Amino acid sequence: MPISPEQVLPTPLWERVQQFYPHLTPTSENLPLIEALDQFYREYHPELMIVETDPSGIITYVNEAFAQASGYEPAELLGQNINILRSDKNEPGYFRHLWRTISQGQPWRGKINNRSKDYELYQIDLLIIPIFVPNSREIYRYLGLAYNTSHRLAAEIALEQLREDMREGLQYARRIQRAIFPTKVNALQKFFPESFLLTNSRDIVSGDFCWVARTPMSNRTFLAVADCTGHGVSGGLLTMIGYNLLNQIVLYRGISVPHQILAELHKGLRAYFLQEESEENKFIKDGMDIILCSFDYGMTELQFAGANRPLWLIREGELREYKTDKQTIGGERLSEDIEFQLFTVELQPEDRIYLFTDGITDQFGGPQDKRFGTPRLRQTLLEIHREPSMVKQRALFNNVWKREWMGDMPPTDDATLVGIRIVE
């Protein structure tokens, strides 16, 4: 509680200061000094470090604790400028603010990273109090009271190193994802010449993935867009499991009908997560929402199945929405066998097909900070679908969704949008 001018009381540190400067009295004029000393004292133990300088920063007194932390003998510090201890590990402009404050006669407090005589980094929590000439506003000395907080600095350095290690690990994981998944437009265009792929990750590693494959035996091309549980590392690990399972089911086991592929994908997740019976495994709800398509060789027939993800088809200016099963791959029904509905659509030249994850519609933005939403996505695709170049369609959509709507807002979720134009 702040000390009122009507009741100015000496505090333990104030009494220590008076030992140096007997002319100081606990009056309302010195109230800022008393409050600063009181706050400083209450936060720490009595292991006090003391340093005094003249107005130009020349050291005139240090106690043993201050000298010991710096690695110097007290006699070595006397007559030296206080900057002898300054390190380059403080923010730019930090000391300009410090000197500006105390030269105006105001107390200053902050953490300073110093270098010892042996060039070791150590940190102090420092309170600097300007001391005035008696009966004057001329500054006579600066008194510094400090506590060694190097243990906190060591913890901060260790934490920052841990963060850096995690960032490097995540960057490496993202490179692996990009090497495996078709994350660029030209990777998708190897299978679908008129197509685009738009991705936007919430974290370094994405929980969305796009899978594309062609099987010579069935003469069909497969495309899936999936949204895995979680974000970052957890979502990224699940994308790798899902991607590998799809390769096993379609390319090695030869299963080629979409609804059967999804049923096997569900069983595959169960084999991964329920290898052992344990209480922990009973509560596993990890899974993925997915739309899986299968195109015949001539791109005249489309078969597809889905788990909580729709397929949109625009034909002659009309958008048709095909809603798939309202159940997820894995999730709460991981221990059960589940079935999926198979859809078949006869395709026509100039049909547009769009697959997307809910990160597209859930993105917050706009002037009122609202979700992009399904109606707005529908309207946007209807406005841009007539553009024959799918590369330009991607640019048009990205301008509306990311630049105009999302703007400076952070990503709400991992987001993926795939567009395909059927050509003769």
Please state the rounded mean pLDDT for residues 169-175. 57
Name which residue leads in pLDDT, 188 or 245. 245
> Could you read off the pLDDT of 191-248 as tens digits, one per residue?
899 999 999 988 877 888 899 999 877 789 999 999 988 666 667 778 888 888 999 9
Name which residue leads in pLDDT, 403 or 158. 403
Q: Classify residue 302 by burial, with Cβ atoms within 10 Å: 0-12, 13-18, 19+.
A: buried
> Closest Cα partner for 21 from 110, 106, 145, 124?
145
d(CA 25, CA 34): 10
* Model pLDDT, residue 345: 97
> Closest Cα partner for 113 from 77, 87, 82?
87
DSSP H/E element including 321 = strand 318-322
pLDDT band of residue 7 (cuts 50, 70, 90) is very low
Please state the rounded mean pLDDT for residues 86-98. 89
DSSP secondary structure letters along 352-376 = EEEEE-HHHHH-EETTTTEE--HHH
- Percent of all residues in the chain with a pLDDT value above 90, rounded to a whole number: 47
Residue 31 tokens, joined: 């109230």
> Closest Cα partner for 340 from 407, 292, 275?
292
Give the ranges where 247-345 is alpha helix by DSSP (H): 258-273
* Model pLDDT, residue 256: 92
Three-class SS of residue 344? strand
Name which residue leads in pLDDT, 104 or 47. 104
pLDDT band of residue 73 (cuts 50, 70, 90) is very high
* Model pLDDT, residue 5: 42
On average, the pLDDT of the chain sits at 84
> Closest Cα partner for 343 from 297, 385, 312?
312
Please state the rounded mean pLDDT for residues 122-151. 87
Number of Cβ within a 10 Å radius of residue 16:
16
Query: Running DSSP on this structure, what letter comes out for residue 81?
Result: B
* Model pLDDT, residue 216: 75
Please state the rounded mean pLDDT for residues 181-190. 65
Residue 321 tokens, joined: 């929405």
Number of Cβ within a 10 Å radius of residue 381:
21
> Could you read off the pLDDT of 337-387 as tens digits, one per residue?
899 999 999 999 999 999 999 999 999 999 999 999 999 999 999 999 999
Q: Give pTM, 2 decimals.
A: 0.61
Q: Is pLDDT of 281 > 70?
A: no
Contact 249, 261 (CB under 8 A): yes
Name which residue leads in pLDDT, 320 or 228. 320
pLDDT band of residue 8 (cuts 50, 70, 90) is very low
* Structural domains of the chain, with CATH: 12-148 (3.30.450.20), 181-421 (3.60.40.10)
Q: Count CA atoms within 13 Å of residue 103 on its CB side.
A: 9
Name which residue leads in pLDDT, 179 or 250. 250
Backbone angles phi, psi at 379, to 5 degrees: -65, -40
Instruction: Give the bridge partners for 293, in sequence order.
Output: 223, 304
- Percent of all residues in the chain with a pLDDT value above 70, rounded to a whole number: 80
Q: Is pLDDT of 163 > 70?
A: no
d(CA 165, CA 157): 12
Lowest model confidence (mean pLDDT) among 59-63, 152-156, 239-243, 318-322: 152-156
pLDDT band of residue 279 (cuts 50, 70, 90) is low
